[in-house]
Amino acid sequence: AQGAQVSFGSMQQDTSAPVEVTADSLSVNQSNGTALYQGNVVIAQGDMRLAAPRVLVVYSEQAGRIERLEATGGVVLVSGEEAAEAERADYNIEAGTVVMSGNVLLTQGPNALTAERMTVNLETGSAQMSGRVKTVLQQQDEEQTGN
């Protein structure tokens, strides 16, 4: 499948920076310990913001470590001045990647790209889009490019 390599996020992201999750409510199931955030959840790390109505926390084997956060129900990822929307996003904190899936729309200034899936590598600030990638490039009109 054809894919597009784009840069995402103005500068490299420090993936060991603290991750802050704010939400309206958090419900924890006592038996298996799954934690589900609900109600305009915002995950913030550095200048990256991931907003979604529902986020499920998935633990890694070692205690006290989060493997990834599954955001569902319409997700918006903002980093620097770029923004990306999708139905679902899996933010793998340990690997420092965000995998967005379900008609992804990435806007970079005037340009817009749509695809089925997008994998953002926060460390290198690059994004790999795949699955019916379509790019809409805004034509700069003459007088703007005159200078």
Partner 1 sequence: MARAEGLYSRVVAWLKIILPLAALALLSTLFLLSRSGDPMMDTPFAEALASGETVQQKVSAPYFAGTTRRGEMLIMTAESARPGLDGKIHANSLEATLTQSNGATIQLNAPEATLRDGQQEALLEGGVRIESSTGYVVVTDGLISEFNETRARTTGPVKGTAPFGTLDAGGLQISPAETEGDVLLLFTDGVKLIYEPKPKE
Count of residues that bind partner 1 according to CB under 8 A: 28
- Residue from 8, 37, 52, 115 that binds partner 1 (CB under 8 A)? 37
89 binds partner 1 (CB under 8 A): no
Contacts of range 63-68, beta carbons closer than 8 Å, 24 or more positions apart = 65/94, 66/19, 66/93, 66/94, 67/92, 67/93, 67/94, 68/92, 68/93, 68/94
Pattern 42-81, partner 1, x by CB under 8 A? ---------------x-x---xxxx---------------
Q: Smallest distance from the beta carbon of 14 to partner 1, in angstroms?
A: 10
**Which residues are CB-contacts of 118 (< 8 A; sequence separation ≥ 6)?**
84, 86, 99, 100, 101, 104, 106, 127, 128, 129, 130
Q: Smallest distance from the beta carbon of 117 to partner 1, in angstroms?
A: 24
Sites of contact with partner 1 (CB under 8 A)? 15-31, 33, 35, 37, 57, 59, 63-66, 93-94
